[in-house]
């Protein structure tokens, strides 16, 4: 097996497993999970922004055959695409709890909401898989860091998804299996992207910049508002110093892993 393909399969599967940890922990310790959710969200925001600005965009500038600034419109395209993607398909990707759940249950009905959540999660994971493959086609460190960033932001998302499905009336067993299936879509997306890598490689700079745009959007539009919302409801849990430390920890971890992996590979 090609070593690149091996890493793509390994880290897309690993990312899926890591992302499910939060959801399964919710099934086991629901109250504790809700208490730490804002901390996970804050840390994830730091990792996403760090990967976008410290890894994906610099790599895009490096691999482009045109002027470095030519990739920036693709970053904007990633932001706009994911905005429309959420509005038109997901519309549930707010990572929030009871108020949003009750609102959506009223709008869609008890039975349709979990289906919408599962479908949106599966599509999102498929896109994540493509991003992971694009990272590995550039270099192993970029692929690993991208996969870890995907896993980090998926943990709080999976907690929210599990919560919505449980409130929608699904059994714990069914919720678990549906989310496992949705998580595997990341590997499917990664494999499809690898199969079409010859068509993908000339556009790697654009794909990396596009992925950076998605990460920037998720951090700024999805995660930061959740932090502000949590602060409004419970200022003790989101003290400014606490939030700052968690954000910087996410950024620092990405920087540290990038340096470490680069040294190990070379």
User: Would you say residue 107 lies in a domain?
Assistant: yes
pLDDT tens string 70-79:
999 999 999 9
pLDDT tens string 32-42:
767 777 787 88
What is the pLDDT confidence band of residue 99, given thresholds at 50, 70 and 90? Answer: very low
User: Would you say residue 265 lies in a domain?
Assistant: no
DSSP characters over 201-246: GGGHHHHHHHHHHHHHHIIIIIIHHHHHHHHHH-TTTT-HHHHHHH
Cβ–Cβ < 8 Å for 155, 20:
no
Rounded CA separation 101/167 (Å)? 7
pLDDT tens string 163-190:
767 766 777 788 888 888 888 999 999 9
What is the dihedral angle through the alpha carbons of 33, 34, 35, 36, rounded to the nearest 10 degrees?
Answer: 50
Structural domain range at position 36: 3-260
pLDDT at 5: 92
pLDDT tens string 125-142:
898 999 999 999 998 889
What DSSP designation does 70 have?
A: G
Residues 6+ apart with CB under 8 A from 44: 152, 153, 155, 156, 219, 223, 250
User: Would you say residue 221 lies in a domain?
Assistant: yes
Residue the block writes with tokens 């790697």: 204
Output the pTM of the full model. 0.78
User: Would you say residue 170 lies in a domain?
Assistant: yes
Rounded CA separation 56/60 (Å)? 6
User: Would you say residue 91 lies in a domain?
Assistant: yes
Burial of 139-172, coded b for 16+ CB within 10 Å and e otherwise, reads bbbbbbbbbbbbbbbbbbbbbbbbbbbbbbebee
User: Would you say residue 185 lies in a domain?
Assistant: yes
User: Would you say residue 43 lies in a domain?
Assistant: yes
Rounded CA separation 122/53 (Å)? 26
User: Would you say residue 119 lies in a domain?
Assistant: yes
């Amino acid at each position: 097996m090609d070593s690149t393909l091996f890493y793509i399969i390994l880290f897309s599967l690993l990312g899926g497993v890591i992302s499910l940890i939060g959801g399964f922990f919710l099934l086991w310790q629901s109250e504790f999970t809700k208490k730490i959710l804002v901390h996970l969200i804050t840390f994830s925001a730091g990792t996403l922004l760090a990967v976008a600005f410290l890894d994906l965009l610099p790599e895009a500038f490096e691999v482009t055959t045109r002027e470095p600034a030519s990739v920036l419109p693709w970053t904007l395209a990633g932001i706009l695409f994911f905005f429309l993607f959420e509005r038109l398909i997901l519309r549930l990707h707010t990572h929030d709890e009871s108020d949003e759940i009750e609102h959506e249950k009223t709008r869609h009905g008890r039975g349709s909401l979990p289906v919408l959540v599962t479908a949106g999660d599966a599509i999102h994971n498929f896109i994540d898989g493509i991003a992971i493959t694009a990272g590995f086609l550039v270099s192993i460190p970029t692929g690993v860091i991208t996969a870890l960033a995907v896993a980090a932001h998926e943990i709080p998302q999976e907690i929210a998804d599990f919560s919505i499905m449980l409130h929608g009336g699904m059994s714990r067993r069914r919720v678990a299996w549906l989310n496992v299936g949705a998580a595997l879509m990341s590997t499917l997306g990664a494999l499809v992207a690898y199969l079409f890598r010859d068509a993908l490689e000339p556009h790697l700079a654009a794909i990396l910049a596009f992925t950076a745009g998605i990460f920037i959007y998720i951090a700024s539009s999805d995660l930061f508002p959740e932090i502000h919302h949590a602060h409004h409801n419970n200022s003790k849990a989101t003290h400014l110093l606490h939030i700052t430390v968690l954000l910087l920890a996410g950024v620092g971890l990405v920087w540290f892993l990038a340096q470490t992996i680069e040294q190990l590979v070379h």
